[in-house]
Amino acid sequence: MEHLLRGRFGRIVISSYSNNPLKYGPSRTYQRNISSLWGGRALERSRPLLLHQHYRHQRRQYGMLIVRALRGVLKIRYLLLGGAVAGGGALQKKFQDWKDGMPDLKWLDEVLPDNEKWQQWRGNLIEFKDSIKNNIEIDPRIKSLTESKISEFRTWFDQRLDDAIAAAEQQNGQLPPAIDGVFSGLSEFVDRLYSDTKDKNTVFAKAFADNVDREEKARRDAQTRLNNLQDEMIQTQIKYQRELERLEKENKELRKQNLLLKQGKKAPVRKIKRSLIDMYSEVLDELADFDSGYNTQDQLPRVVVVGDQSSGKTSVLEMIAQARIFPRGAGEMMTRAPVKVTLSEGPYHVAQFRDSTREFDLTKESDLADLRREVELRMRNSVRGGKTVSSEVISMTVKGPGLQRMVLVDLPGIISTVTTDMAADTRECIKQITQTYMNNPNAIILCIQDGAVDAERSNVTDLVAQCDPNGKRTIFVLTKVDMAEENLTDPNRIRKILSGKLFPMKALGYFAVVTGRGRKDDPIQTIKDYEENFFKNSRLFKDGVIRSTQVTTRNLSLAVADCFWKMVRETVEQQADAFKARRFNLETEWKNNFPRIREQDRDELFERARSEILDEVVNLSQVSPKQWEECLMTKIWDKVSSHVFENIYLPAAQTGSLETFNTSVDIKLRQWAEQALPAQSVESGWETLQTEFQKFMNKANQAPDHDDVFDLLKAAVVSEAMQRHSWEDKASEMLRVIQLNTLEDRTVSDKRDWDAAVKFLEISVKNKLKQTEDMLKEILGPSAKERWLYWKYQSEDQAKRGAVKSELDKILYSNEKHPPILSYDELTTIRNNLLHRSGLEVDNEFIREVWFPVYRRHFLNQSLAKAYDCRKSFYLYHQQADVECSDIVLFHRIQQMMKVTANALRQQIINREARRLDKEIKEVLEDYSQDAEKKEALLTGRRVTLAEELKRVRQIQEKLEEFIQALNKEK
């Protein structure tokens, strides 16, 4: 049979497998109308409690899904809703109240499928069920068992239904408790479902937002790590490239020498013929290293290219060099450091950095891209300390057919505003660098002005006017003339600019150039053709606004080169004489201040320091094994003595029981050996190695021929190597095994070992006793003798502690075996005695503060007396007589442990650690040798700076004289 309840959530069906109409006779047939529990529909009187309806509405299907989900969770096959309800009106009111309290679940319409899809899915399930039923054979035993279970369930269901009907007849129209409980449970379930859905949506939204934040943070962290890795990779790449070039050069020289040695010849001194401009460029490079501030010593001519940012100065330099050699950016600052470009004529168009052997073929686009990338890389590496620009010069040489010989310096562009991605002082730094170069009285200023920008917006012309007010060494260049013509600029305004009547500055000459069409990928030849065509067809040229000698970058380069060489010939001899005089002054200062010392620059001094440090490492092999073990045992005991006394010996000895002493010692020794002891031993070995190495260093520093100029460098190298060095990990595990085995042996088999343990205990106790006496002296103040003889006084607290100590001494005198803790009665007695005898009021904590050192001294004196008594007790101990010498056995075990540990550490130092330290010191020295800043910071003093200056001045003067000779020959 089937009982159908309709309502807001569909139907609840209760089925019975019995179709016997006799089971439900007339006595159970109800001829009156009753209201449905959910839908309020009337049931037919002709069928008692059995209604069969088809699926009619979409919401009924959804209600079936909810009820079936509830049935699956609660493991219930059927819901029993029995009972006939009398009084339809009361039932209707009860159901209406319950329905009004239900939450709105219209959102299920959007989640659950529509009726058509539901019917299709239901049909598929029925087909699947039939397929399974027809294709799967069930074991007869399982089938029999299943049928018995079904029959049993039918009986149970019928009984429950009968009970429900009987209960309904007795309720007189009220809802049975069973049905009420079911409805209440279903209502609570729906409420929980709605609340959980809302909470889950909130949690999901919060989790989604948190996930987005985490992903954004992870992305930023990943980007930061990527930038750091890129910087490290750049630094490593530069270091590797320099080292590779150095090794290649050395290898080349060694192959030449080897070939000559095989042939029995000496290496000929080959003089390389260099061009005049290359010789001059080398002089400027030496000056850049020697005098980064460009003071009065450096007044040699160079062409300084200055202009506002994005005014086209880098493009002008590229047109003169006839190659796109600089990185470019759309409105972004690209020139962040001065770039010195030496132009010279040659058969091939190539470029090369000063400190590199690689030649870049400027006719190949791949080499040009590599060159631009290298320039950008060097600029980035020159900027340090959060700055945006740098004064460090990047030197390169460009050779090619038809290039004019000169030296140009491209400077960062002048800016008006500092953006957020720049350092705050960027504008002032650029201005300072520009003025430094332009203030050189022999520098030729190539002033670049953007022709497409209003003249009033120019920043560079004011700086040029300040540095060269008469315009004797300034050449003015107006760029982007094509854009000015396109923008319908007044021709008379351009005429005023090129005649020097618009800007408040003067110049030797005025030029107009076109350096491109705004396309960064255009080759130089295309730009040159565009420039020539523009000036041929320009109305500015046709109208006579611009003279033919004032246009094109070729005319500009010829004029700049003529001016440059004229300035060089006029000033170079004067500069050579200035350096000659400076050399004489420096040599005189050296002879007067350091008459018996040979001149050595930082590189030579560093090599001397390197050899001395490595000699000290070799001297470690001179330390004897016995000396190593003695030093190691001393260091180990200094490291562990506090733990042995405070955590092992004193707590066990103060128990007063021999059995408790041995048990406590065994437990604590094992715990110590398994945890802290191996690490403490390794630390002791490492500190001993440092101490012994430092002894050799100090001994060398005290030698008669010691040179203190190396002290800072040696200390820094040793300190850096010590920080890098770490003891091998497997050493701790090896020590743990041998220390455990040694500490477990409690047998003293030899009289010499017994005497050594007694001596070891006595020395250790005496040291601790001395420390305790010092502690007592500090808290008690000066003694009576010191107060009488030296007029010293006790403070009020010290006087109180002295009175407390007198009372404590009485307690210890009356009971020499007193435990380490005062009882409450003893504390009360001491306080009362002090109050009655001296009128002093003290608390228990104050008494315990004095008790600790007093009892400690008392106990240590007893331990020392016991050690004296045990000196001659070895034979009694050996015969297993009853002697109280467990202290001696404990210290024997510790002493043996230190011996085997020192022996193992000594072997580790000699065989492994000393060699690893030697290797690390060599690595530190190699790193320092490549770091000029380190050498400058660690090798200081007037002697060093004077030798450096003298060496550089000699080199500059010699190169200047060589250049002058070549210049005179060319004339």
pLDDT at 525: 87
Is residue 694 within 8 Å of residue 701, measured between CB atoms?
no
How many Å apart are CA 958 and CA 966, to the nearest integer?
12
**Rounded to a whole number, what is the largest CA-CA distance in the chain?**
143
Reduced to 3 states, what is the DSSP secondary structure of residue 345? strand
How many Å apart are CA 620 and CA 691, to the nearest integer?
11
Domain positions in the chain: 303-555, 614-930
pTM: 0.56
- Point out which residues pair with 473 in neighbouring strands: none
pLDDT at 760: 93
Closest by CA position to 755, among listed 872, 608, 875:
872
Q: Nearest-5° angle of CA 935, CA 939, CA 943? A: 135
Is residue 949 within 8 Å of residue 616, measured between CB atoms?
no
Block mean pLDDT (10 aa), the chain, length 971: 38 37 37 35 36 41 51 41 42 53 52 58 61 50 52 66 58 47 50 55 61 71 69 62 64 62 49 72 77 55 89 88 80 78 89 89 91 89 84 90 90 84 86 90 90 76 88 90 75 79 83 80 85 81 73 89 90 87 91 89 89 85 88 92 91 83 90 91 90 85 82 89 83 88 88 92 93 90 83 86 90 88 91 88 91 92 90 82 83 93 91 87 90 88 90 87 86 59
How many Å apart are CA 916 and CA 937, to the nearest integer?
27
How many Å apart are CA 352 and CA 360, to the nearest integer?
6
Beta strands in 70-124 (DSSP E): none
How many Å apart are CA 212 and CA 508, to the nearest integer?
63
Copy the structure tokens of residue 150.
């079904």
Is residue 437 within 8 Å of residue 412, measured between CB atoms?
no
- Point out which residues pair with 344 in neighbouring strands: 399
What's 303-555's CATH class? alpha beta
Give the pairing of strands 474-479 and 394-400.
unpaired
CA end-to-end span of the chain, whole Å?
128
Is residue 359 within 8 Å of residue 401, measured between CB atoms?
no
The full length of the chain comes to 971
pLDDT at 272: 45
Residue environment code for 244-280, b if the CB has 16+ CB neighbours within 10 A, otherwise e: eeeeeeeeeeeeeeeeeeeeeeeeeeeeeeebbbbbb
Query: Residue 698, Cα to own-chain centre: how many angstroms?
Result: 37
CA distances, 500 to each of 22, 475, 519 (Å): 127, 11, 30
Q: What are phi and psi of 4, to 5 degrees?
A: -110, 130
Reduced to 3 states, what is the DSSP secondary structure of residue 582? helix
How many Å apart are CA 629 and CA 898, to the nearest integer?
9
Helices and strands of the chain, counted as H and E runs: 33, 11
Q: Residue 533 carries which side chain, given as an amino acid letter?
A: N
Reduced to 3 states, what is the DSSP secondary structure of residue 303? strand
How many Å apart are CA 692 and CA 671, to the nearest integer?
31
